[in-house]
Amino acid sequence: MKSGTAQQTDFLVIGCGIAGLRAAIELAGTGAHVLVLSKTDLTESATQYAQGGIAAALSDEDKIHLHQQDTISAGAGLCNPAAVQVMVEEGPRYIQELIEWGTRFDREGTRLAFTREGAHSRSRVLHAQGDSTGREIVRALFARAHAFKTIEFLPFAFTAELLLDAQRVVGVRYIDEHRQRFGEIRAGAILLATGGLGQVYAETTNPALATGDGVAVACRAGAELSDMEFVQFHPTALYLNGAPRFLLSEALRGEGGCLRNIDLEHFMPRYHEAGDLAPRDVVCHAIVTELERTGSEFVYLDMTGLNPEKVKARFPRIYATCLEHNLDITADLISVRPAAHYAMGGVATDLDGRTTLDGLFAAGEAACTGVHGANRLASNSLLEGLVFGAHAGHAMAASVPRRTTKPARRARAAAAAPANRRKSATSEVPPEVATCIDQIRRIMWEKVGIIRSGPALSEALDELAHWERPLPDFPSRPHYEAANLRLVGELIARSALAREESRGAHYRSDFPYRLEKEECQHSCIPHGQPVGFR
């Protein structure tokens, strides 16, 4: 694979989900040139698949301090209070901004419609087109971004590594998959908004692009990571032979659905006073307990007691997708089980997205501000990306006092169109790489999953080390993704082994209790160092 001409831009944003787009808009407001990279098509991001909604204290019955309390309570004693305060206080303003930019949230008459999800004390979750909230937000953000002539987009550009100069990140090396060559982009500041890492697990609700690329490249460059052991498993992923692990939104239970075991017992009231709307970690552990107790592979999500027409109107995307697999959610019991869903940990940042490396910022799921603690409150992820994406954009602009230079070579206009859906010429996975990825995902699911133990985590680390492979002379995107998944898996397992307690999404069968409050700390992985706590 050849190298192409180096490009120069004022600011580089890697990822075009809610955090990346909001940061790019903030940066473009200063008149700077912003280049946004996407590893696949521009319309592909984790945000695009977000069903449930975006949480904010906007209704008449709600208060900001209640949203703050719910977030901290769900976080199992590990939330960063300052980050939570920023998110819940500024969230309503940024959502109003989305509405001004054309985001069409669902309404009841002229009033915004709110629903309730697990661990929320109020109905505060906004949704759009029933269960297509993320897609609608991305549509509005793209429309806003295209109003700025200084924002350009480059799809099918996979970030392979960060470029450093005297411990400052000054650019990236990327694979241009259409031209099948490497390229370099230099920038005054760079934002990692690359999304999650769910593909490290065999069972996940995440899209195929969620291979932990941002965390991996930041780690190799020397950035500090935090809370990598906290991976949230969503309680209800569709579990059918031949069907993808399609996410079944928590809002289904918020609207009245309930969980039943294989014997049709409504079991959640036995595990938590909030029943089916308990925090996600509680619901996951309850489901796993019921699976073990009954010897079943799944439990049921029951929507049959609700008005069928209301269910179809409220969840059109979920209804249509399940119907493709001959499952009518208004009449049939839905077989579900947990699947990897969201990473609370990631690249350690401050409240403005600054990492421990000069010139490098992070926002969204790739970042760790500590806002989610050990267990994310439902529908706070889009809010986090929105608020901290804006914060990162503002801080990046301030970090470079004036525009550095005009771009040496501008991305072609055709490449910037969100409607462009060309497929990558180099996306096919070589058989040996596919085998490596499958084994990594199996190891992580079996030994670093919902229930963990010291011996299993140690075995996982040994097995992951076995699958470490040097990159070939001419690596493709799948080669890098396999390496990223293996590294991210190792980081999760190392952090999980170091945390000798059970807290939030992290459960150790050999350490089933929480440490005392004064002993509760965030894990951290400084470059080249063992896992520590602070």
Domain containing 319 — which CATH number?
Answer: 3.90.700.10
pLDDT at 425: 42
The answer on 459 and 361 residing in a single domain is no
455 inside domain: yes
CATH number at residue 388: 3.50.50.60
List for the chain the helix, strand, coil content (%; round to 5). 35, 20, 45
369 inside domain: yes
The answer on 166 and 100 residing in a single domain is yes
Residue where a domain terminates, one of 360, 384, 416: 416
Residue where a domain terminates, one of 291, 314, 339: 339
The answer on 281 and 190 residing in a single domain is no
In this structure, what token pair is assigned to residue 385?
A: 């990306």
Query: CB of 194 within 8 A of CB of 366?
Result: yes
The answer on 175 and 317 residing in a single domain is no
Nearest to 368 by CA among 285, 487, 486, 491: 491
Task: Determine the Cα angle at 126 with ends 120 and 132, to 5°.
Answer: 120
The secondary structure of 208-251 as a DSSP string is TT-S-HHHHHHHHHT--EE-TT-EEEEEEEE--TTS---B--TH
User: Which residues constitute the domain of residue 257?
Assistant: 235-339
CA 404 – CA 407 distance, rounded (Å): 9
The answer on 124 and 50 residing in a single domain is yes
CATH number at residue 481: 1.20.58.100
425 inside domain: no
422 inside domain: no
The answer on 249 and 171 residing in a single domain is no
The answer on 223 and 247 residing in a single domain is no
Active site residue 280: yes
In this structure, what token pair is assigned to residue 165?
A: 């100069």
Q: Where are the alpha helices (DSSP H) in 79-237?
A: 81-100, 133-145, 213-221
The answer on 267 and 162 residing in a single domain is no
The answer on 6 and 85 residing in a single domain is yes
Question: How many domains are there within the chain?
Answer: 3
pLDDT at 293: 95
330 inside domain: yes
pTM for the structure as a whole: 0.92
Residue where a domain terminates, one of 362, 385, 416: 416
pLDDT-flagged residues of the chain (< 50): 404-405, 407-426
Catalytic residue selected from 186, 280, 441, 452: 280
Nearest to 129 by CA among 113, 106, 110, 112: 106
31 inside domain: yes
Query: CB of 67 within 8 A of CB of 228?
Result: no
The answer on 305 and 388 residing in a single domain is no
The answer on 84 and 67 residing in a single domain is yes
The answer on 252 and 401 residing in a single domain is no
479 inside domain: yes
